[in-house]
Amino acid sequence: MKTCIMVSGGDAPGINTAIEAYARLARLGGDQVLGARNGFAGLLDEQLVELDRSLLSLLAGRGGSILPSSRRPALQDPNARERLGDVMRRHGIDNLLLFGGDGTIRHVAPLLAGWDISCIVLPTTIDNDVAGADYTLGHDSACNFATQAVAGIRATAHALPGRIFLLETLGAPTGHLALAIAYTSGADLALLPEYPLELDWLSERLKQIVARQGAALVVLSEAYPDIDRLVKEIPRRTGIRLRYTALGHAQRGADVSHRDRCVARDMSRVAWRAFKDGDRNGTVLWRAGAAILHHGSSPGEHKPPPDRHLYEYINQL
């Protein structure tokens, strides 16, 4: 069996671990494995590389991906199906192990299944927004990165009180990532795009928090509506200084946490086993604390919005 590993869309911590784990399984099982650089655009251009074992071992715990990804919609090319089939035949590739997030799972995987290309997807996104999955690889590492930022903010907030701190997380259009971080960091408020709050209410609440405890920590998702207005209006309405920190892509490139190292290896094992058992299309989902194979291309349309009870608990609504 010869597998081509590749990444489509945004990277996530844990991809390198999973690649290393899969390559190890393949080696032990007498299978072949190679990588495609630059997503499907690269695969169609035959940008195929051997996976360097020592480099993989070295980078298994680092964020990012040794196989660069791409957001180019290369499969929309009218000749893509034929070209992909040709490349796979020429290089003797039996199947694709694909790392990707929500978009890859909902759009790319069904397309490949329709073209009769064997492909198993490992959901990798810090956003934790994949339908049918309790958890996606990379989320824990991104939360850990934020936890360290929160510790720094808390230290300076204690040392120089009287300010409101807004910490922006990634998360694409969803608030799953921000909610998880707000909860574990004991934030005073969580602002999620799914549940926008009224600015007057927010300003009044922040005034109370700062009066009571000296400073306020707000965790907000990058997709929260009109953040610029928030940053301008809150100080004006409260008379309190506001300091803004955006974690940005540093968060996505975080080092891989212990949990994500375990999840990555478990997912790789399920994917390898599935190919060996003759499964042609599937998604490895993390459910109820374990990696399982969802047979078929797409496990569902959209993940439900972030837990409303948890959100209300954090914000004391």
CB neighbour list of residue 165: distance below 8 Å, 6 or more residues apart: 153, 157, 215, 216, 217, 218, 242, 243, 244, 245
Which is closer to ligand F6P, CB of 170 or CB of 270? 170
Q: Give catalytic status of residue 255 as yes or no.
A: no
CB of 67 to ligand F6P, least distance (A): 16
Cβ burial, residue 201 (10 Å; 0-12/13-18/19+): exposed
CB of 173 to ligand F6P, least distance (A): 8
> Per the residue annotation, which of 11, 102, 127, 140 is the catalytic one?
127
Residue with tokens 């990696």: 291
CB of 102 to ligand F6P, least distance (A): 7
Which is closer to ligand F6P, CB of 10 or CB of 299? 10
Residue nearest to ligand F6P (CB): 170
CB of 125 to ligand F6P, least distance (A): 5
Which is closer to ligand F6P, CB of 39 or CB of 101? 101
Give the tokens for residue 314.
């954090």
**How do 119-123 and 281-287 pair as beta strands?**
parallel
Which is closer to ligand F6P, CB of 85 or CB of 173? 173
CA distance 121 to 91: 21
CA distance 7 to 104: 9
Q: What residues does 48 pair with on adjacent strands?
A: 36
Which is closer to ligand F6P, CB of 194 or CB of 233? 194
CB of 251 to ligand F6P, least distance (A): 8
CB of 264 to ligand F6P, least distance (A): 17
Put residue 104 in one of left, alpha, beta given phi > 0 → left and psi -120 to 50 → alpha: alpha
Residues near ligand F6P (CB under 6 A) are 10, 71, 101, 125-127, 170-172, 222, 252
Q: How far is residue 48 CA from its own chain's centroid? A: 25
Which is closer to ligand F6P, CB of 16 or CB of 125? 125
Task: Give the residue numbers marked as catalytic.
Answer: 127
